Structure 1
Amino acid sequence: MALSTAKRLYDTKRFAAVRIVQETYDEDENSSRERVIFETTIADRENRAAKQTQVNTTPKVDRSERHPLRKRPRVEAPVVEKKGPSLWLLLLLLGVIVAGGFGLLLFLQSL
């Protein structure tokens, strides 16, 4: 069923690749194994082969001689020059407008 579904999905041309992976769990060893049953692209096969050769040729790292990590230099944020009026100037202008409006209301009420 999974194989026919994978082929149908790949035939719709909506997916670049389709892969079916069988996972087998061993309760005694508390581990699992994966095995590719079906894959649709040659690139998948080449990538898996390259990964296998990389795993087989990668030397083991001696963890007893680890060096401390180097800290990256701290980069200060660039100073941005402000354009336009400052916040205090805008608040002062707002206060003048409110006071003028309040004064105008008092003047109109006295008439």
Structure 2
Amino acid sequence: MERIVYKAPNNPGQKMPDVFIVTEPGMAVKYRAQKAPIGYSKKSNDENQSSLALVDVVQSFDIFQTATGKGFEGPVARPAKSDLDAIFGTENEQEIIEKIILEGELQGARTA
């Protein structure tokens, strides 16, 4: 499994926790490549592949944070919906997960 950590931009006087999702190994990179901006040069053998759905990329549609709010440190919990809304401007988990995949920091493989 791989974790992708999204480091929330902080508003003045407000510290937002880092959140993360768990993805299948190598799938986030493939998903990012298919969402590359127009004009991005793809390899010719990629053109015949079908596009990936989020369900093929994530291990579950769960969003997590640590108690410390920093990456891998501390016990894991689910963030409050109000925190997700403050960080992402929405509570729609599918939109949030896609944003984490596209803009988050890939932390690499971890063993369960």
| TM above 0.5 | no
TM interval, short-chain normalised: under 0.3
When the two structures are superposed, what TM-score results if normalisation uses the length of structure 1?
0.21
Structure number with greater CO (CA < 8 Å, separation at least 6) is 2
Considering fraction of residues, name the structure with more helix: 1
When the two structures are superposed, what TM-score results if normalisation uses the length of structure 2?
0.21
